[in-house]
Amino acid sequence: QVQLVESGGGSVQAGGSLRLSCEAYGATYVIDNINCWGWFRQAPGKEREGVASIDIDVKSRYADSVKGRFTISQDNARNTLYLQMNSMEPEDTAMYYCAADPFKCDSASWRIVGRYNYWGQGTQVTVSS
């Protein structure tokens, strides 16, 4: 099993930046077998949506709404996932979740909530205008 713990959320004004982190805890061989990492978000009254993903080949994918503003990355040990968020907008306000799965991401499935085996508890991000 893998436990994911997000941090870095908070309140920021429009145009500002935040950096989210997601640390993975568990057996090394389990974490090493994770081939798809993702960030999702869920605003009140809305469905959870994919924000970005990164796979074992360091291929990253982004939702159109965040392209050019958000960057997903990992540390070298691949047990910490990051989401750098710049030029933030009030529409970015949501609970942000980290997710991970052993199956490699692809363009068709990376944003599907049900394909991820592991989830964090979320960190709140609020952007004021």
CB atoms within 10 A of CB 127: 19
Region 23-38: what's the mean pLDDT?
Answer: 93
- With contact defined as beta carbons under 8 Å apart, do 98 and 37 qualify? yes
The predicted pLDDT at position 40 comes to 98
Identify the pLDDT of residue 16: 98
The string of DSSP codes covering 70-100 is: EEEEE-TTS-EEEEEE-S--GGG-EEEEEEE
Yes or no: say if 36 and 101 are a contact pair by the CB < 8 Å rule.
Answer: yes
User: For residue 54, what are its two tokens?
Assistant: 């990164």
- CA angle 104-105-110, nearest 5°? 150
Please state, for a pLDDT cut of 90, what percent of the chain lies above it.
Answer: 91
Identify the residue whose tokens are 């930046």. 17
pLDDT of 58-117, one tens digit each?
899 999 999 999 999 998 777 899 999 999 999 999 999 999 999 999 998 999 999 999
Which tokens is 22 given? 């997601």
